[in-house]
Amino acid sequence: MLLFEDEHRCVRNKPADMVVHPGNKHTTDVTLHDLMQSYLHQTGQSQKSPTFTPSLCFRIDKDTSGIVISAKTYDALQRLNEQIRERKTHKTYLALVAGRFDGYLDINDPLFRGYHKDTEKSHMFVNTEK
């Protein structure tokens, strides 16, 4: 879903279970990058430059939903990457968990990705040893 657009950038809400970029394990999946390229082509905005392809500014995992910013111009990509690199952007993550918690729970430990054999899906877990 397109949330915002101007001449320099697009902001989209990526649903869970959608790959952001094509990769070795997802060669036939429709990706967010594919949707962006298709949208720009349909609206007459694709390939304004022979040396630049509109690009996503960062990635989020396949199983994660969230907002992703796409740069439509080289200058916009440079500026957005600089803001991300210099930590001038703020990212907020909300995790949905199963189980019961007594009161407020604040996790300030690193999260790691694991693979659950029963569900054949990856999951995140806290590893306080690391």
Instruction: For the chain of 130 residues, list the mean pLDDT of each consecutive stretch of 10.
Output: 91 88 72 85 77 82 87 90 89 78 78 77 73
* 63 has catalytic annotation: no
pLDDT given at position 48: 67
pLDDT given at position 6: 93
Q: Which residue has the tokens 């990706």?
A: 31
Q: Which of 6, 34, 61, 109 is catalytic?
A: 61
Which domains occur in the chain, in start order?
A: 2-85 (3.30.2350.10)
pLDDT given at position 130: 61
